[in-house]
Structure 1
Amino acid sequence: MNRQPYLLPALLLLTLARFLALDVIPVAAIETHALACAHAFDFWHTALGPIIPLLAKISTSIFGEAPFGIRFFSPLLILGASLLLWNLTHSLFDKTTASWTLVFFNLIPAVNLAAITLTPTTLGIFTSIVVLASMRVALHSQHPWHQPWWLLGLALVVAAMVDWRLSTLTLAALTTLLLTGRGRRSLLRWPILPILIGCLGFALTLFIAWNSEHHWAAFQSLPPDPHHTLTRSFFQILLLYSPLLLPAIAWAYMISTARKPMENPVGFLGAFSLTLIALDAIIWHKTPFPQAAFSTWLAPAIILLAHQTLHADTVRPRLMFVARTLVLFTAALTTFLLLSPPIRTTVGL
């Protein structure tokens, strides 16, 4: 039975449900800070670039300063990320893998929370998929004005203007280009390298010019949450990614790297995500609930997981079906638990 026609209606219904759930989670400290920055709009802010305050300013000017107004763009950003993710996975593998990727992605608790809160996690997930998709198109198409490369450069600039730490997307993109044969050949073609250097130089110039005159506000941090302990961080990781998803992703990476020679799409996704995993591991203890660090590695990891659950030949198909269903069910159940205030209170979130 062909289930592809049902994906878009299901995604639209899920987006509607997310709009209805925008007031389920209390407004987080980072959202309150973004709203304050939106009132005194400037180019950079303490611990934030201009993008999130700008989104908050636009939405609250239309819908007011209730949670719905602050978070209006979040479900739309995750909807756009989902559609882009399907197209990206389809171009890398096939429609079946793309469909399972979409199902995995939209059942992950971290993604669902990013869809109903306006935090750096929301923009981190969105911009990482835009960067990945732009790079894929740029590497596999020829345009007279090199539009995909300009789009890639613009996506990297926007990511850096969300939070300066998202500049690691630039490092991830360059690592991917240098580690893949097609990427190295592309960098040697004129004027690809000047386009990327020009975009990144523009972003760096803006960042230094403003912050050098404002006490380097972007490097400053918000006051830490006194209740954010290591135990709480552990439960946060466990619940935001669900108990079975992280082991499943680790399995997918192990299977991917063990296969020689590595498939080109698999190497492309692995090279892009490893740097980003390291970033999240470093900053996780500084990102209180409902943030899930930046989660920029999540999209490529989920694509790899969906691909391996469909094509890995080391596990019997029936057993793989049961394991995949169990991972998806656990992720969906964890999402519902996180939306329950008593459960969040019990685990200290």
Structure 2
Amino acid sequence: MKLIDFQKHYKLPLLLLVIITVIRIFFLYYYNLNLYADEAQYFGWSRNLDFGYYSKPPMVAFVIRISTMIFGESETAIRIFSPIFHFLTSVVIYHLGKKLYNEKVAYYACFLYITLPAVTFSSNLMTTDPILLFFWALTALLFLSEMWLVAGIGFGLGMMTKYSMAMFIPSAAIYLYWRDRNFYWLKNPNLYVSLLVGLAVFSPNIYWNIKHDMVSFAHLIDISHAKESSFNARKILEFLLIQIAIIGPVLSCLAIGLRENNRHKYVISLCLPILIFTSFLSLFFNAYGNWAVPAYIGFIVWVSAYRCANGLGDEPRVCNEKLLKLAITSNVIVAILIYSSPLFVNFLPSDPFKRVSGWREFGVCVSELAKRHPDALIISDDRKITAELIYYIGMDNRNKIRKWNHFKEIKNHYDMTIPLKEIPSEMILVFKYNIPESFNCNKVSYINGLSIYYCKY
């Protein structure tokens, strides 16, 4: 089958998707915001490629390495693949909607996705989510098309991006059961070949974790607070509010009236398992709002099909294209507000860009101090500060950076890779917590809310 058919009717939506993506890349270049701490950490990973890292599989590091090889090491270069991955995901969603339903559903689904508030926001940052969403959507399309081998590759690459890709397995199993209403699909050897191929692609990260005491999986348990489980209704409320923010208020309202029938069984199986699982986690543990985002690949196709007038022969009372157009329009308004907010930051009650401001000046100050004291190590006691230092301090000084560990146990990537083993005679300190009293330190500067010290021990 043709996964991508560049027929005449597809050229206009494709052109609009390209225009939206070009606009987003323009704003990346125009605003040129400092890197967020996680982005800076991923950049550091990309300078030292491996098959795994403390908190994530390696795909985001490989993507950043490719983008910086092509475009350089600017903030825009690091982020440029984020809007591109979202564009590619919207293209895959178009073909997913067309294969499952019809062209009209495909149009609405791809434009609902590309205008989602979370996608607009995510397009400004280089994180694991844009890559994961692409591989999730692509694997879904390949799986539906029974292209078992490449579906397995897509699944493996998704696992190499983020461990939540594993939730695709129960989604696929539920779909196959609903399709056949029996368990005969368990006898299909192609499924096992596809799964084995996926595991083979993912195996380098498994091997890396085995060599490093399964540190990535232990980190997942740690951040979810699985050892401190307790029922808390406030957690699920916060989680659900984040989901509303992810898809927008109008689309959230459209979700209320959705009904299940056999026509929608695939997209329901694609979205409900991960949404139910993450919602359950949020009741008892700590579940981040973005853990559920793969669910919205199937969800927006479901909403588009259910609300698309004359698209499926549904009852007229549930078919209303106007509501879909309203959802897209409201999402575009949110996007305009997001992209115009830097122009009005002085009029806002708090600065939403505080976490991505001041790091360039901070890096310049520390690097100049390092030039005056070439024998001094640069020491931080915080993961985010260390990540920003690695990017903004300059290539010549990166090998001088060390991570001070107050907790005496591995809590992050830098505790594992660049720990301070011995206290040197000269240090440049940027501490979030208290500096030991035995250090002889002089405060040199105060930038971005952080004090910079030169110390002799």
Question: Given residue 242 of structure 1, which amino acid in structure 2 is its aligned partner?
Answer: G
Conserved in 2, the CA contact under 8 Å of 1:109 and 1:241? yes
Q: Deviations over 1:284-338 (max 9, x none)?
A: 96648xxx33511111111111111114425276xx3443333222211122223
- Pick from 68, 84, 87: which aligns with 1:76? 84
Larger Rg: 2
Q: What residue is the counterpart of 1:120 in the other structure?
A: 128
- Conserved? CA contact 2:79–2:124, under 8 Å: yes
Matches within 5 A, 1:190-229: 191-203=189-201, 205-219=203-217, 220=219
Match in the other structure for 2:270 = 272
CA shift in 2, pair 1:347/1:240, >3 Å? farther
Alignment of 1:334 onto 2:342: no
2:250 to 244, 248, 255: 244
Deviation at 1:108, TM superposition (A): 0.9
CA distance, structure 2, for counterparts of residue 134 and residue 274 of structure 1: 19
Compared CA separation, residues 156 and 5, structure 1 to 2 (3 A) = closer
Distance 1:251 1:65, change over 3 A: farther
Identify which of 110, 113, 116 aligns with 2:118: 110
* TM superposition score normalised by structure 1: 0.80
1:21-47 C-alpha deviation (Å, 9 max, x unpaired): 225465332211211111122110021
Letter in 2 for 1:199: V
Of 102, 106, 110 in structure 2, the residue corresponding to residue 94 of structure 1 is 102
Specify the alignment match of 1:313 in structure 2: 315
Alpha carbons of structure 1 residues 305 and 83: separation in structure 2 relative to 1, 3 Å: same
Q: Distance in 1 between matches of 2:287 and 2:202?
A: 24
- For 1:33 and 1:212, locate their aligned partners in 2 and report how far apart those are by CA, in whole Å: 22
The counterpart of 2:25, out of the listed 12, 19, 42, is 19
**Structure 1 residues 54 and 346, CA gap change in structure 2 (3 angstroms):** farther
Aligned-partner Cα distance in 2 for 1:347–1:309: 38
Alignment of 1:133 with 2:131, yes or no, is no
CA contact (8 A) 1:156 1:170 kept: no
Point out the structure with the larger strand share. 2
After TM superposition, give the deviation of residue 222 of structure 1 in Å.
12
How does 1:282-301 map onto structure 2 within 5 Å? Answer: 282=281, 287=288, 292-293=290-291, 295-301=293-299
The whole-number CA distance in structure 2 between the counterparts of 1:183 and 1:134 is 22
Match of 2:58 among 33, 39, 50: 50
**Which moved further from structure 2: 93-102 or 210-219?**
210-219
1:233 Cα deviation from its structure 2 partner:
6.7
CA deviation digits over 1:184-239, x for unaligned, max 9? 555423x3133034224425643432212213232326998xxxx97987765443
Per the TM alignment, residue 346 of structure 1 is displaced from its structure 2 partner at its CA by: 4.8
Q: Structure 1 residues 13, 269: closer, same or farther in 2, change over 3 A?
A: same
Identity of matched residues, %: 17
Q: Show CA shifts across 1:94-122 (max 9, x none).
A: 11111111221121111223333221221
Unaligned runs of 5+ in 2: 1-7, 224-233, 353-457
Q: Distance in 2 between matches of 1:223 and 1:67?
A: 30
- Partners of 2:334 and 2:300 in 1: CA distance: 17
Distance 2:136 2:53 in 1: 22
**Partner SS state of residue 244, structure 1:** helix
Equivalences, count: 321
Structure 1 gaps of 5+ residues are 139-147
Tell whether 2:155 aligns with 1:156.
Answer: yes
Tell me, what secondary structure is at the counterpart of 1:80? helix
Aligned residue for 2:315, secondary structure, equals coil
The AA in structure 2 aligned to 1:132 is A
Kept in 2: contact 1:280–1:293 (CA 8 A):
yes
Aligned partner of residue 308 in structure 1, secondary structure: helix
Say whether the 8 Å CA contact 1:88–1:133 is kept in structure 2. Answer: yes
Change (3 A) 1:205 1:14: closer
Distance 1:240 1:201, change over 3 A: closer
Higher RCO (CA 8 Å, separation ≥ 6 residues): 1
Partner of 1:142: none
Distance change (3 Å), C-alpha of 1:313 and 1:298: same
RMSD of equivalent CA atoms: 3.2
